[in-house]
Structure 1
Amino acid sequence: MNPLKISITGVRGVVGETLTPHLVVQFAQAFGSYIGGGRVFVCNDARHSAAMVRSAALSGLLSTGCEPVDFGVCPTPGMQFALIGSRASGGIAISAGHNPEDWNALRFIRGDGMYFNSQEGDALLDVFHAGNFTKTAWDEFKKVHIKRDPFGAHLKKIRSVFDSDRIKKRKFHIAVDTCNGACSEAAPRLLESLGCKVTVIHDQPGSPFPHDPEPTRRNMQTLCAVVKAAGCDAGFMFDTAGDRLGVVTDRGEALFEEHLLPLCVMLQMQETPGTVVTNLSTTRAVDDAARAAGAQVIRTPIGQAYVAEAAFKNRAVIAGEGSGGIILPAVQNNNDSLAAMAFLLHHLARRRVKISTLADKTPRYEMRKHKAAMDFTRIYSSMQNARQAAAREFPDTRIVLDDGVKLEWRDAWLHLRPSNTESVIRIIAEARTAACAENLLQAGINLIS
């Protein structure tokens, strides 16, 4: 049930089972060989396995003639930002993000700070499978450099993009849950530099995760209680990599992860409208928020790499996914939870409103999600069966096959797709009413059963 998961952005698995030191070394060797050496930035979150995985990755890079720069515990977006204009050949982020604590991952990043696209990911896998890696003579190994203040430049950029002076004048009180991850230092530091009073929980890097690191409503219940008890203006939860953001309103209510992107799009369209990019599984509320400003929405297959690439090519003003990943190209073309937090504070300060007021104005649909766990050997055949069954049972429905099987109606949709990060088939249904969404979700479950 816990296979090695390989996608265009990298490889992830359970440490000690599928993600072994030997495998990490080989993938790092493949990466070093593929990029042709040079400086490679390496960062990690604070999982217990980070030291082992980082050491193995550094060994693989050194063996192929690379010159690693160790960022240590650093949000992935912080390292990605550092890559921009650095002349480094690329980077490896060691973090399984929202996955449970026993997982870890290598995520491969280009020299421009963006994840590998599908062609580059396929080429890297070809190098890995061929096993013919670049070798370095014993007296030609490079040194490992230690990066000081690894995310300082990133925080400075965020402060320069948004209205820091107006945020400071508001003197917000913000609660933060960093899940003992890579944002444990960066998030409070950014908020304090913006004049906020900060109440932090779960900010001990290397300590066990206090809960699942995915920023969902279920995982933000403690943060909700803190916001209520302390009378905070808002609360923010970060996954362990700093890719995804969860939001708690001033009422102590956790925002559904699908509602964050429509909220951000609504705010962006009112300030600087333009093209929006998201994926096939994200709520149609994004389209409603963009339509109000006459803006185009482009949809891609699921995955940050696809969304970020399309955002860059189409000069989007905002992009993201329904998982809490927000891309603000004014900062960088990557999921960036720290920038997303500052973006929201920027709008709260300029409009002098509460975040609950803005959340109430966001377009919303009823969405239901289900994860059908199964052995990875059955996923392909189950999806094939679902595709055939969908065509048979819904002959007059528009079916999109760009990523899994998506059935679309005027006011509803149903999407089934294999996960990129877990051994599950994800089933997502959205409609105007809860009853319709629940009926569609059950229809999706039936299609793969």
Structure 2
Amino acid sequence: MGASEAPLMLSVSGMRGWVGQSLTPEVVARYGAAFGSWLKESLKSETKHPHVVIGRDSRPSGEMFENAATAGLTSVGCKVTKIGIASTPGVAIMGKHLQADGGVVVTASHNPIIWNGFKALRHDGVAPPADQAAIIIQRFQENDVQYVGVDELQPVSINHSAAEVHVEKVLEHVDIDAIKKAGLHAVVDSVHGAGGLEAKLLLDKLNVKITHLYAEPTGIFPHIPEPTKENLSELASVVKEVNADIGFAQDPDADRLAVIDNNGKYIGEEYTLALCAKHVLSNGDATAANLSTSRMLDDIAAAAGAKVYRSAVGEANVASVMKDQDAIVGGEGNGGIIWSKVIHVRDSLVGMALLCEMLAHQNTTLDKIAESIPAYSIVKDKINLELGMADKIKPTMLEVFHDQRIDTQDGVRVDWPDKWVHARTSNTEPIMRIIAEAKNEKEAIDLINQVRDALGFNRYPE
């Protein structure tokens, strides 16, 4: 595939592309200048020189793009603090710690190594919502930036305390003594990403014994980095082999967390939010999740006397709803857990700490706790995008499913009393996702096939 055919994804999740093809240092510098110009315009009554914290995941292309983003930001008069390799939540928390005006994470999250990207953060650590992201993208596309002269260039500083700051922030809100006394053993797969150091610091401070797989931040992923079942067979085997209490899988920028139970069984990304919500929700609380997240959350909230709010897919969208509804916990079914006590950003360390606290408080095994949650079968399908496909989704599904309850705030979600299906284009990859949930896998696959049939695609491979 040539550079002209390589995807460059621009969305509420930032910018992602193929290294050396659609994503080059020039592209990243231009996006940095566009983001910096937007920050200056947004803050013009407060400062002429916004302070931006920038970090990166461990990909081999990361340092190059970190430097390019720094050049773009400083070229429009921003002051930059570089924190090096850090998790996405670590960058967000460090930005708040330093009272910065914004942040940048050079990452492509779970995407393969050929990808990298630019994720912008506001002063609160949250990615700009859709309306603000659209303005930044327009500035980038139109090269609408305000470069400064030499007299307005600001210094670049370096700070390497992000891991410690992140861990201490999480520890402020958990029962450290109870976890220490529990004597837990966890196996962690950090996939040679950015989260290994932070995970080790956290678990060491909680006296959790750690068997650490792929801890070094080399960026050379030992397996496909998305923390899904088919990619975590080694982690599951090691949990069983060493008789650990729990297994944790991070993605490259450590904002997602998948869980393995004490028997070495992958219980999935969907259970990360469900288990954390079960642990923290009380009567009168609110929680939030996107439209593609399991209804396990609805059952857990109902049992606790809490209320669930739904948003479009994307961390910024969930965070916005959480803030509007004063939700204490939220996230996404991809293993993203947001705990408002720490920051309105998905954070694998939050998931680790809460699940360790849950095991310590309940004094039982993870498999028993997971079995207590009403189970559904969720099937996640994806189809490579073809020209015109995105425009077909909404009208076709509205016609085919017109007699059911429909939500169109992000693609189309169709609901029945005991099942649902959601079809949408991805914010981060050139694909369409179809996610279905029902009482059993057969029913969920049937929903997937109803959508595939309606859109003219082959049936789901069984």
- Partner secondary structure for residue 150 of structure 2: coil
- The change in CA–CA distance for 1:273 and 1:175 in structure 2 (over 3 A counts) is farther
Counterpart of 2:403, as a letter, is D
Counterpart of 1:266, as a letter, is K
| Residues 247 and 255 in structure 1, CA contact (< 8 A), matched pair in contact too | yes
Asked whether 1:277 is paired with 2:282, we answer: no
Asked whether 1:142 is paired with 2:154, we answer: yes
One of 5, 10, 19 as aligned partner of 1:6:
10
Which residue does 1:252 correspond to in 2?
Answer: 264
| Residues 76 and 146 in structure 2, CA contact (< 8 A), matched pair in contact too | yes
Which residue does 1:23 correspond to in 2?
Answer: 27
1:322, CA displacement in angstroms?
0.4
CA distance in 2, matches of 1:439, 1:33: 48
Asked whether 1:293 is paired with 2:297, we answer: no
Q: Deviations over 1:361-383 (max 9, x none)?
A: 122211111101134xx2xx324
TM-score where L is the length of structure 2: 0.93
Which residue does 2:205 correspond to in 1?
Answer: 193
| Residues 83 and 159 in structure 2, CA contact (< 8 A), matched pair in contact too | yes
Q: Deviations over 1:328-387 (max 9, x none)?
A: 111111101101110110111111111111111122211111101134xx2xx3243333
| Residues 10 and 137 in structure 2, CA contact (< 8 A), matched pair in contact too | no
- After TM superposition, the structure 1 = structure 2 runs for residues 32-431 of structure 1, keeping only pairs within 5 Å, are 32-36=36-40, 37-84=49-96, 86-269=98-281, 274-375=285-386, 378=387, 381-431=388-438
- Partner secondary structure for residue 84 of structure 1: helix
Counterpart of 2:11, as a letter, is S
Q: Deviations over 1:80-130 (max 9, x none)?
A: 112225331101011111111111110000011111111211221232233
| Residues 186 and 246 in structure 2, CA contact (< 8 A), matched pair in contact too | yes
Q: Deviation above 4 Å: which 4+ runs of structure 1? A: none
CA distance in 2, matches of 1:80, 1:393: 42
1:2, CA displacement in angstroms?
4.3
Gaps of 5+ in 1: none
Gaps of 5+ in 2: 41-48, 457-462
| Residues 284 and 307 in structure 2, CA contact (< 8 A), matched pair in contact too | no
CA distance in 2, matches of 1:389, 1:197: 52
CA distance in 2, matches of 1:395, 1:430: 19
Counterpart of 2:168, as a letter, is K
Q: Percent identity?
A: 36
CA distance in 1, matches of 2:319, 2:104: 17
The two structures, once aligned, show a CA RMSD in angstroms of 1.5
- The change in CA–CA distance for 1:130 and 1:207 in structure 2 (over 3 A counts) is closer
Counterpart of 2:355, as a letter, is L
| Residues 182 and 240 in structure 1, CA contact (< 8 A), matched pair in contact too | yes
- Partner secondary structure for residue 285 of structure 2: coil
- The change in CA–CA distance for 1:327 and 1:431 in structure 2 (over 3 A counts) is same
- Partner secondary structure for residue 292 of structure 1: helix
Counterpart of 2:445, as a letter, is E
1:273, CA displacement in angstroms?
5.6
| Residues 365 and 430 in structure 1, CA contact (< 8 A), matched pair in contact too | yes
Give the length in aligned residue pairs: 444
| Residues 386 and 447 in structure 1, CA contact (< 8 A), matched pair in contact too | no
| Residues 13 and 427 in structure 2, CA contact (< 8 A), matched pair in contact too | no
- The change in CA–CA distance for 1:170 and 1:342 in structure 2 (over 3 A counts) is same
TM-score where L is the length of structure 1: 0.96
1:6, CA displacement in angstroms?
0.6
CA distance in 2, matches of 1:75, 1:176: 15
1:409, CA displacement in angstroms?
1.0
